[in-house]
């Protein structure tokens, strides 16, 4: 007898083992038709697999949370079958599902091109229409090696040889085509549907090793419905328009070049944007009672060994050697340096909490293939801080931090974020008992702050659990930026202590926290969020004074001087060009405001204000226009202080 417990709590009993397909049919013909897979005690399985013992079972249909990954994995297989039917000289390697779709790596002497995509997609649609049954088979190891070798699939044959002997050699067959795969898969290719599209071509290496043969990687996307596919493709179009690398060039903000790979050359306008964000953060932290510090770039490896970072991050650290035998490392993070400052002098419980911040320049040797504009760099600045506190203060400090983070995100234009709780990773420092305390303390504090969390299992830092704050931008993309980590380990390893109320030495808890994450990445996110149309307070150039005729040049200079005296960032456009040409040019450059002046404005001491994206203009007296813009351009940090001072 096998008892199957369904999600609604009902139990169905069977005389013996039962397949997922039979279970779905027993529940009803509609469910049998809609079923794609089963989830047995949390494990996703093929419908054809038997359930041998009592278990909790979910029938996975198209609207199930696990359906997309399943569909995308099958899309990869259908895609590979289509490619090999069209290009028989092609070897297949691996094709996993990804966050938004799938990819497959191929080996072929002749290069693919995007022009091949249409034929590939058409053949994929034909395979879906053929509704080929997908069958799982367990093969003898030697038979699998021989099959793939005889078929000229050397990559697959070599991979079979590396599979541990205790593991099954799992093969999935659809029609005449088959692939080595652990599954699970749909019952047939017809279940996939046609909501897929091939997107781009890239290079890759076998097993990710540059010394191995180069492969051709083709990316695709797959969704439940055509509507979802269209929505995703629209997001891609929007994302391309918003690409911070393109906007960085068009707006003359920054560039990156091979001679300093992974590092940013900030141009004057980009550096102004950077400094305004930094100034805002500094003002907010000062109000929140943080003390700012600065720690060295190069620190002896012995400190990194004590902290545990050498063992964990050595491969990602840049090192240098002095004239002696000392090995120095460019800091990949600021934490050990802050502990060294904390340890200077005797600290009392009365000194806690101590909130120590740094806009710390860090370096990490990221793989060159992972670098991406401002989003992934080797040289970056963290808005880093560490709160040294007693265990009893964790809850209050967590609440204060989340309030601060929420307010800052709103000021930057992000009203929507989610929180993930990342618990202990497999490789970590500290005893389980210490981790139990740290996880409970952070979890309880987060709940007390009224924050709902999703779990991100095993993704904590090596020294403590963390909260991950995930922003959602204007087109719905998610960006993990802020973090809060509860660390009971590093103060112990680096011998940090304070004198408690009892006169004895105690270890502080160290709360690692960041709000923006890194300035570079956050500014990249910000540029894409606003599509380059930055809020007035952040804009590198807040206004351009543009003349209609050369007769107004003198008045235009008066306007510029008055704006600068008021603290506005303005530029002049006195060129002998038509005003419509100037308007178009500055609109493309994403200048928020044009202050247009001609003879009439000069006589009346007025300006015509044109807003970016607006069709109308507003005629204002010069003083009124400046006053309006100064108020709009005020930093939110200043506005927050003013609101608090007025009690509103």
Active site residues: 335, 364, 382, 384, 386, 466, 512
The two structure tokens encoding residue 46? 């093929």
User: CB atoms < 10 A from the CB of 508, how many?
Assistant: 27
DSSP secondary structure letters along 48-110:
TSEE-S-EEEEEE-TTSTTHHHHHHHHHHHHHHHHHHHH-TTPEE----B-SSEEEEEEE-SS
Q: State whether residue 537 is helix, strand or coil.
A: coil
Radius of gyration in angstroms for the set of CA atoms belonging to the chain, rounded to a whole number: 30
Question: 446 and 401 in contact (C-beta within 8 Å)?
Answer: no
Q: For the range 303-312, what are the long-range contacts, defined as Cβ-Cβ under 8 Å and sequence gap of 24 or more?
A: 303/336, 303/340, 304/329, 304/336, 306/336, 306/493, 306/494, 307/335, 307/336, 307/339, 307/490, 307/493, 307/494, 308/429, 308/462, 308/463, 308/489, 308/490, 308/493, 309/333, 309/336, 312/427, 312/462
Other CB atoms within 10 A of residue 88 CB: 8
Cβ–Cβ contacts within 10 Å for residue 391, how many? Answer: 15
How many Å apart are CA 647 and CA 634, to the nearest integer? 19
Strand runs (DSSP E) across 310-353, as ranges?
A: 319-321, 327-330
Q: What is the DSSP letter of 225?
A: S
| Residue closest to 389 by CA, chosen among 380, 397, 378 | 397
Judging by DSSP bridges, how do beta strands 509-518 and 478-487 pair with one another? antiparallel
Rounded Cα–Cα distance for residues 588 and 586 (Å): 5
Q: Residue 314 burial by CB count (10 A; 0-12/13-18/19+): exposed, middle or buried?
A: middle
Residues 284-293, buried b or exposed e (16+ Cβ, 10 A)?
bbeebebeeb
Judging by DSSP bridges, how do beta strands 593-597 and 543-547 pair with one another? Answer: parallel
Give me the residues paired with residue 205 across strands.
214
Location of structure tokens 């989610």: 418
Identify which of 387, 385, 342, 394 has the alpha carbon closest to the alpha carbon of residue 498: 342
**Dihedrals phi, psi of 530, to nearest 5 degrees:** -90, 0
CA distances 125 to 119, 168, 191, 303, 402, Å, are: 10, 31, 12, 59, 49
With contact defined as beta carbons under 8 Å apart, do 581 and 525 qualify? no
Residue 509, SS3 per DSSP: strand
């Amino acid at each position: 007898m096998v008892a199957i417990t369904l999600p609604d709590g009902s139990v169905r009993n069977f005389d013996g083992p039962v397949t997922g397909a039979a279970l779905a049919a027993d529940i009803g013909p509609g469910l049998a038709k809609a079923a794609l897979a089963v989830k047995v005690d949390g494990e996703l399985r093929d419908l054809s697999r038997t359930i041998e013992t009592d278990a909790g079972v979910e029938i996975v249909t198209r609207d199930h949370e696990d359906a997309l990954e399943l569909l995308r994995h099958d899309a990869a297989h259908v895609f590979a079958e289509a490619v090999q039917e069209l290009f028989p000289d092609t070897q297949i390697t691996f094709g996993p599902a990804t966050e938004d779709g799938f990819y497959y790596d191929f080996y072929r002497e002749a290069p693919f091109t995007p022009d091949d995509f249409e034929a590939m997609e058409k053949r994929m649609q034909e395979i879906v229409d053929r509704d080929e049954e997908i069958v799982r088979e367990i093969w003898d190891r030697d038979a699998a090696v021989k099959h793939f070798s005889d078929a000229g699939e050397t990559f697959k044959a070599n991979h079979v040889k590396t599979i541990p002997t205790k593991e099954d050699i799992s093969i999935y067959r659809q029609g005449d085509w088959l692939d080595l795969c652990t599954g699970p898969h749909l019952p047939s290719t017809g279940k996939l549907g046609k909501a897929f599209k091939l997107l781009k071509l890239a290079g890759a290496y076998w097993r990710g090793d540059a010394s191995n043969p180069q492969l051709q990687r083709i990316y695709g996307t797959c969704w439940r419905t055509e509507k979802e596919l269209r929505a995703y493709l629209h997001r891609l179009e929007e994302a391309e328009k918003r690409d911070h690398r393109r906007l960085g060039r068009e707006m003359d903000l920054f560039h990156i070049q091979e001679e300093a790979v992974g590092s940013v050359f900030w141009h004057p306008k980009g550096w102004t944007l950077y400094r305004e964000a930094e100034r805002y953060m500094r003002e907010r932290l000062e109000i929140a009672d943080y003390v700012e510090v600065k720690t060295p770039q190069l620190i002896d490896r012995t400190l990194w060994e004590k902290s545990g970072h050498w063992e964990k991050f050595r491969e990602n650290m840049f090192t240098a050697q002095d004239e002696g035998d000392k090995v120095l490392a460019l800091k990949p993070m600021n934490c050990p340096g802050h502990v060294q400052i904390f340890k200077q002098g005797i600290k009392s419980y009365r000194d806690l909490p101590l909130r120590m911040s740094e806009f710390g320049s860090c370096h990490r040797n990221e793989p060159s293939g992972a670098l991406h504009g401002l989003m992934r760099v080797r040289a970056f600045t963290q808005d880093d801080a560490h709160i040294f506190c007693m265990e009893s203060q964790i809850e209050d400090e967590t609440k204060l931090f989340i309030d601060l983070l929420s307010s800052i995100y709103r000021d930057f234009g992000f009203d929507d974020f989610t929180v993930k709780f990342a618990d202990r990773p497999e490789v970590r420092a500290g005893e389980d008992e210490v981790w139990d305390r740290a996880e409970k303390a952070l979890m309880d504090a987060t709940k007390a702050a009224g924050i709902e969390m999703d779990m991100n299992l095993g993704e904590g830092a090596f020294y403590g659990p963390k909260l991950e704050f995930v922003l959602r931008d204007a087109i719905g993309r998610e960006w993990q930026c802020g973090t809060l980590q509860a660390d009971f380990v590093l103060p112990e390893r680096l011998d940090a202590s304070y004198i408690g109320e009892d006169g004895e030495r105690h270890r502080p808890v160290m709360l690692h926290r960041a709000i923006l994450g890194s300035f570079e990445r956050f500014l990249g996110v910000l540029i894409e969020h606003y599509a380059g149309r930055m809020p007035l307070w952040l804009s590198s150039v807040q206004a351009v004074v543009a003349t209609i005729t050369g007769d107004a040049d003198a008045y235009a200079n008066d306007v510029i001087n008055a704006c600068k005296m008021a603290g506005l960032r303005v530029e002049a456009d006195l060129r002998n060009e038509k005003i419509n040409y100037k308007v178009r040019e500055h609109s493309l450059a994403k200048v928020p405001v044009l202050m247009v002046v001609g003879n009439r404005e000069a006589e009346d001491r007025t300006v015509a204000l044109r807003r970016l994206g607006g069709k109308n203009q507003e005629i204002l007296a010069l003083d009124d226009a400046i006053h309006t813009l100064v108020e709009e351009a005020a930093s939110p940090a200043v506005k927050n202080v003013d609101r608090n001072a007025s009690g509103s």
